[in-house]
């Protein structure tokens, strides 16, 4: 499942959903949580359920349900688990136990809907509570439904009573750098997609592009988006360039030609097995086996 760009869409807005479908995002996340007012939760749930169908489309259909502590999760799932739903983005998860709990609910709902068990995948916002920070290692070994981990700073800042989560230079303060880094390591340990958090200044394409380059450098493979205009920038930022692909292909082919070699030389530089693995990831990101 390719998850370079995951675009949030308020679950109660037909207009924004129509625009989002043409954005080029790898996944649309129809939101039943933060972007929907409490008085509109029921209407948004029904609206999102009406949009889900199994017709082919070039993007994945995700839903962000309300978290367990709201008492709304079961109703959300009962409405949206139907053919055509590809995944859930779980907010305010506090560890793998929440994924197990959600997975058991999905087993029953998929069976009732005539869907193959395991159809609906799970991505997790894994850093939104203080307890969640201590449970990031629990996602390994991964639940069979787990496909990605992402992180969030706003709810975590509110939970700890922070007055800000960015410094005067606009960079994350140290506690949120830790949350970002630990999420990256947790995703890598579990073997699932590490997805960077949203870039709030959606009019600043240059800043977003630079931030995506840094995120890809660090190991993230995708990013959350809050506006359709961000999608093309994110897709470009997390897609290897033609030069990247050509070099990766050369590394892989040179190792393949020397199957007994632990190191190879290309243009006067030495490459070993970690370089081979990085080249293979680059080719996979480009859609090559």
Q: What is the pLDDT of residue 58?
A: 95
Domain ranges of the chain: 5-237, 242-285
Strand, coil or helix: 227: coil
Q: 16 and 49 in contact (C-beta within 8 Å)?
A: no
Q: What is the pLDDT of residue 289?
A: 67
Q: Across residues 190-197, what is the average pLDDT?
A: 97
Strand, coil or helix: 215: helix
Q: Across residues 69-74, what is the average pLDDT?
A: 96
Q: Poorest-confidence range of 72-76, 97-101, 198-202, 229-233? A: 198-202
| 258 token code pair | 């020397």
Alpha carbon 244 to chain centroid, angstroms: 23
Annotate 124-135 with three-state secondary structure. Answer: EECCCCHHHHHC
Q: What is the pLDDT of residue 231?
A: 98
Say yes or no: domain 5-237 is CATH 3.20.20.60.
yes
Percent of the chain with pLDDT over 70: 100
Is pLDDT above 90 for 29?
Answer: yes
* Alpha-carbon span 119 to 107, nearest angstrom: 9
pLDDT by residue (tens digit) across 108-160? 999 999 999 999 999 999 999 999 999 999 999 999 999 999 999 999 999 99
Q: 92 and 67 in contact (C-beta within 8 Å)?
A: yes
* Alpha-carbon span 97 to 116, nearest angstrom: 22
E strand segments, the chain: 5-10, 27-31, 60-64, 87-90, 121-125, 146-150, 193-196, 222-225, 263-266, 269-272
Q: What is the pLDDT of residue 86?
A: 98
Q: Taking the model in full, what pTM does it have?
A: 0.91
- Residue 276: closest CA among 264, 288, 260: 264
Q: Across residues 252-264, what is the average pLDDT?
A: 86
Is pLDDT above 70 for 95?
Answer: yes
Q: What is the pLDDT of residue 240?
A: 84
Q: What is the pLDDT of residue 219?
A: 95
Q: 71 and 80 in contact (C-beta within 8 Å)?
A: no
């Amino acid at each position: 499942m390719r998850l370079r760009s995951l675009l949030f869409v308020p679950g109660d807005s037909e207009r924004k959903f129509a625009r989002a479908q043409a954005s080029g995002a790898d996944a649309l996340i129809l939101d039943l949580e933060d972007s929907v007012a409490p008085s509109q939760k029921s209407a948004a749930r029904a609206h999102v359920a009406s949009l889900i169908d199994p017709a082919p489309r070039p993007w994945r259909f995700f839903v962000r349900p309300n978290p367990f502590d709201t008492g709304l999760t079961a109703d959300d799932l009962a409405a949206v688990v139907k053919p055509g739903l590809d995944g859930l983005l779980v907010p305010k998860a506090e560890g793998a136990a929440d994924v197990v709990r959600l997975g058991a609910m999905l087993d029953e709902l998929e069976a009732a809907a005539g869907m193959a068990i395991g159809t609906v995948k799970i991505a997790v916002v894994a850093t939104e509570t203080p307890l969640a920070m201590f449970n990031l290692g629990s996602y390994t070994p991964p639940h069979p439904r787990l496909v990605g981990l992402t992180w969030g700073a706003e709810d975590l800042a509110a939970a700890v009573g922070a007055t800000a989560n960015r410094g005067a230079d606009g960079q994350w303060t140290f506690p949120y750098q830790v949350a970002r880094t630990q999420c990256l390591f947790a995703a890598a340990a579990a073997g699932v997609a590490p997805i960077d958090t949203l870039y709030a200044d959606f009019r600043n394409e240059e800043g977003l592009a630079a931030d995506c380059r840094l995120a890809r450098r660090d190991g993230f493979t995708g990013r959350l988006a809050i506006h359709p205009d961000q999608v093309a920038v994110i897709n470009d930022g997390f897609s290897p360039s033609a030069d990247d692909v050509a070099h990766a292909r050369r590394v892989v082919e040179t190792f393949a030609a020397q199957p007994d070699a632990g190191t190879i030389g290309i243009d006067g530089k030495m490459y070993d097995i970690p370089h081979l693995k990085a080249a293979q990831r680059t080719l996979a990101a480009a859609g090559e086996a």
